[in-house]
Chains A and B, each alone.
Chain A
Amino acid sequence: DGGITQSPKYLFRKEGQNVTLSCEQNLNHDAMYWYRQDPGQGLRLIYYSQIVNDFQKGDIAEGYSVSREKKESFPLTVTSAQKNPTAFYLCASSMGTLQVETQYFGPGTRLLVL
């Protein structure tokens, strides 16, 4: 079955540590996205990628980094510069045809700080 997988489901970060969240899709989509979800707020865009080896900052990119070396994969690294990383992180993908498209979401990763 086609879909988006995210791992791990829960992730714990120690102070000063970088952690990486995995996102993989087998939908053959060109575009991929990372969102952060905090209680009482909507989803906020961290980074997005329209094509392999290219990505753009979203609204809250500070303290995060991404790579897009393969079409199927779009990992997100939460760096030690992100002072408030506790949140729910959602990865999404869409076809990437430059029209507004339906975004399909993964099951999410819950990041907690120890």
Chain B
Amino acid sequence: AQTVTQSQPEMSVQEAETVTLSCTYDTSESDYYLFWYKQPPSRQMILVIRQEAYKQQNATENRFSVNFQKAAKSFSLKISDSQLGDAAMYFCAYGASGTYKYIFGTGTRLKVLA
């Protein structure tokens, strides 16, 4: 069975600094997608970034980038120039191609210190 593990329940970062959130997953599939979602205090889930497993290039969205290591089954999220508005729960999610199901990790709460 596929699993997603986020081993950091909580992280803190100083404003304007860089932080990396970890995610590992387990699957026997070769074709899949990985996602990072942000859940601010409003609790609305917002897509941060998405990575297709067949792409070797790491996805980037402005200050957010991923380090996708397929062989190691690792998918970390790097937030550069952290802002107060980045404070939220961050969830890593996995979806196998051809299915409708996501598997979510348990989340990492990110605190941004002024």
Which listed residue, B50, B91, B97, touches A43 by the CB 8 Å rule?
A: B91
A41 to B35, CA, bound (A): 17
Which listed residue, B35, B42, B47, B101, touches A45 by the CB 8 Å rule?
A: B101
Residues of B within 8 Å of A50, CB to CB, are: 100
A90 to B102, CA, bound (A): 13
Which listed residue, B37, B42, B43, B96, touches A100 by the CB 8 Å rule?
A: B96
A43-B104, A108-B44 given as contacts; is B98 within 8 A of A98 (CB)? yes
Which listed residue, B4, B33, B35, B100, touches A48 by the CB 8 Å rule?
A: B100
Residues of B within 8 Å of A88, CB to CB, are: 43
Chain A, 83-107, contact with B by CB distance < 8 Å: what is the 0/1 string?
0000010101010101110111111
Is A107 a contact of B4 with CB atoms below 8 Å?
A: no
Chain A residue nearest in CB terms to B6: A42
A31-B100, A48-B100, A100-B96 given as contacts; is B43 within 8 A of A42 (CB)? no
Residues of B within 8 Å of A63, CB to CB, are: none
What are 16 A-B interface contacts by the 8 Å CB criterion?
A31-B100, A33-B100, A42-B105, A43-B45, A43-B102, A43-B104, A44-B104, A45-B102, A48-B101, A50-B100, A90-B45, A99-B98, A100-B98, A102-B35, A104-B47, A105-B37
